[in-house]
Structures are given as structure tokens and as C-alpha cells.
Amino acid sequence: MATQMFEGKGHAAIYQKYRFAPGEELQQVILSYLREKRPNAVELVVDVGCGTGQGTRFLAKHFKKVVGTDISEAQIQEAKDAPFLPNVSYLVCPAEELPLEDASVDVLASFTAAHWFDIEKFMKEANRVLKPGGCVVICTYTMDMSLRYGNCSEKLTKIFRESWDLLLKYSHNKVKHVMEDYKMIFEALPFPDKKRITDIYDKIPMTVSGVVGYLESVSPYQVFMKNDPEAAKSLLPETEKRMLETMGVSSRETPVEFWVRHVCVLGCKGQ
Ligand SMILES: C[S@@+](CC[C@H](N)C(=O)[O-])C[C@H]1O[C@@H](n2cnc3c(N)ncnc32)[C@H](O)[C@@H]1O
């Protein structure tokens, strides 16, 4: 069964505003793998569970034609409202039933989304739509996140973690795949030529308001809002206040380094 957690228009707008694109290190891992495995012209790349298009726009810089797909109409609408890119189009559809021809796709990518899919069905679908020799790139950022600012990095990270830990109580069972560094997703990929990289670290430029906005964008926060709106609403300004006090600054637009660890499952379908 597909899990639909990103349906609300309000959530999609927050998502578009605060979710970050794949960082430099992750981009390099993906591009060098694809250069090695697919050195000839890549015609079609599909970004499954594209959300508001963070990964799609990165792919569009490097490949001829990119299709972003997502089960949520609200997310796809936000993606379409972003500045137009002539080589990108979007489709609303489940990852498990892609409206694409057999053997028509060179690269099937997914960023921070595959844990929501019905993994078994998605893998069958990947196998069906990929051309012989086509590749999959399935990544996620993990909860291994930290903040750096002057000499208070440790304290800031602790504040961020405390807020995250509160939210984690409201996380869906499928988030376990992220906690397990996509081990099960890697094992389910039906190609012998595959690897899983678990130590990709990226520095994402952020501000205090961006970090707090990121917390607002995560799916457990939306569940927290439904269950306990008062507590959920106060968590964000409280987190922000604690961060600003610790940093000794007053502006929520103060830059701060946000470090994330990514996991990436890469694989190549046989000829
Ligand atoms: C955490 S967001 C990631 C979005 C984007 N790829 C990014 O990197 O920010 C997960 C996305 O997966 C989508 N999704 C969840 N289950 C899906 C399914 N079964 N088929 C297609 N999309 C799905 C959600 O609607 C959501 O937009």
C-alpha cells in the first residue's frame, strides 16, 4: 500500500520553501557513478517521489530530459510553480505504477522518498521501465544531522536533536528504513551490480529560520500538529529562541552550517 503523507497544500508550500536540494558531495557521487556506468547519451531520467522538485532540478542541469513523478498533486503543483525548465515535466502517479513504457528509462532516481513506497512493487516497476544497462539512484538524507556555528556547534546540535527526538515519536513506521540506512531497500534491488554508500556528508548552507523551517517540513511534525497542535506550534519558536540565545545573535536569518549524512543505493540493470 502506498503511504500518503505529503498531500496537504500547506505542507507542500512549506516543503518547497524549506527542503534543500542534494548537496555537492551527493551530486558528485551520483554523477561519477552515472558517468562510469552510462557513459553514452542518457535520454530519459525519472525522479520518483520528486516532491516539489529539489532533486529533479539538479538532474535537469545534467541530463537531456527529466520527468518528476509524485503521488501528491499538491507537491507536483508546487514543483510546476517553480521557475520553468524546458527539459523537465511532471506527472502525478504512484511510484509502483509509473505510466512509462517498458525499457524506456535510462536512469531512475529517487531522493528521500523510496522509504514511503511499496518497496517490492517499486523494484518490479524499476526493473520494468529501465532499459538494459539502465541505472537506479536511490538516496536519502539520514537523521545524522548536525549544526555548526562558531564555538557553540555542540550546544546547537543538541538543541536541534532534542526537537527532532520529540518529533520522532510521531514518525511513521516506514522511517525505520532511513534509520537502517536503506539496508532493506538495497537488499530488495533485484540487480547483482549494486552498491550502497552510507558515508556521504554534505554541508548545506542554512539560516536559523531555515533550520526551524526544515523541522516544520518533516512528516512527523505534520502528525504532531494534528495530535497536539498547541505543543507543536510552540516547539518551533522555542527551538528558534534557544538557537538564537545560544549563538548570541538576534536575527533568524543568521547563517548556520547544517551538516547531513546521506545514504545512496546505486545499481545497474543487466544488459
Ligand atoms: C520526503 S518527500 C521527498 C521529496 C523530494 N524528492 C526531496 O528530495 O525533497 C517524499 C515524497 O514522496 C512522495 N511519495 C510518497 N509515497 C509515494 C508513492 N507511493 N509514489 C510516489 N510518490 C510518493 C510524497 O508525496 C513526497 O512528495
Neighbours of 118 (CB within 10 A): 15
What mean pLDDT comes out for the span 69-89? 96
Q: Identify the pLDDT of residue 1.
A: 45
Integer-rounded Cα Rg, in Å, for the chain is: 19
Residue 183 lies in a domain: yes
Tens digits of per-residue pLDDT, 200-233? 999 999 999 999 999 999 989 999 999 999 999 9
pLDDT (tens digit per residue) in 226-258: 999 999 999 999 999 999 999 999 999 999 999
Q: Give me the mean pLDDT over the 65-75 stretch.
A: 97
Which residues contact residue 35 at a Cβ distance below 8 angstroms, ignoring those fewer than 6 apart?
none
HSE toward the beta carbon, residue 168, CA cutoff 13 A: 12
- Residue 192's CB: how many other CB atoms inside 10 A? 9
**According to the model, what pLDDT value does residue 6 have?**
60
**Total domains in the fold of the chain:** 1
User: How many angstroms separate the alpha carbon of residue 197 from the centre of ligand 1?
Assistant: 21
In this prediction, residue 4 carries a pLDDT of 55
Query: Does residue 234 belong to any structural domain of this protein?
Result: no
Q: Would you say the CB of residue 116 lies under 6 angstroms from ligand 1? A: yes
The per-residue pLDDT for 40 is 85
When pLDDT is averaged across residues 128-149 and rounded to a whole number, the result is 97
Is 174 exposed, middle or buried (CB count within 10 Å of its CB: 0-12, 13-18, 19+)? middle
Q: Does 69 map to a domain? A: yes
Structural domain includes residue 29: yes
Quick check: CB of 224 below 6 Å from ligand 1?
Answer: no
Question: Which one, of 257, 260, 264, lies nearest residue 144 by Cα?
Answer: 260
Q: Is a pLDDT exceeding 60 seen at residue 56?
A: yes
* 165 inside domain: no
For residue 205, count CB atoms less than 10 angstroms from its CB and return exposed for 0-12, middle for 13-18, buried for 19 or more: exposed
The model's confidence at residue 14, banded by pLDDT at 50, 70 and 90, is confident
pLDDT band at 9 (very low <50, low <70, confident <90, very high): confident
Cα(145)–Cα(202) distance, integer angstroms = 10
Residue 210 backbone dihedrals phi, psi, to 5 degrees: -65, -40
Q: What is the pTM of this model?
A: 0.95
Any ligand 1 atom below 6 A from CB of 53 = no
Residue 23 covered by a domain = yes
In a domain, 25, yes or no: yes
Nearest C-alpha neighbor of 130 from the set 172, 189, 181, 72: 189
Report the pLDDT averaged over residues 32-60. Answer: 96
Indicate if ligand 1 lies below 6 Å from the C-beta of 115: no
Confidence band for 13, pLDDT divided at 50, 70 and 90 = confident
**Residue 176 is assigned to a structural domain of this protein:** yes
Which atom, in ligand 1's list, is nearest to the CA of 56? 6
Task: Report angle CA 193, 194, 197 to the nearest 5 degrees.
Answer: 155
Mean pLDDT of 129-142: 97
Inform me whether the pLDDT recorded for 132 exceeds 90. yes
* Residue-range definition of the domain harbouring residue 31: 9-145+172-204+259-268
Which CATH number belongs to the domain containing residue 72 in this structure? 3.40.50.150
Q: What's the mean pLDDT when you consider all of the chain?
A: 95
What's the rounded Cα separation, in Å, for the pair 207 and 104?
41
- Render pLDDT for 154-166 as a digit per residue (tens, 0 to 9): 999 999 999 999 9
Cα 96 to averaged position of ligand 1 atoms, centre (Å): 12
Give the span between the Cα atoms of 145 and 206, in whole angstroms: 13
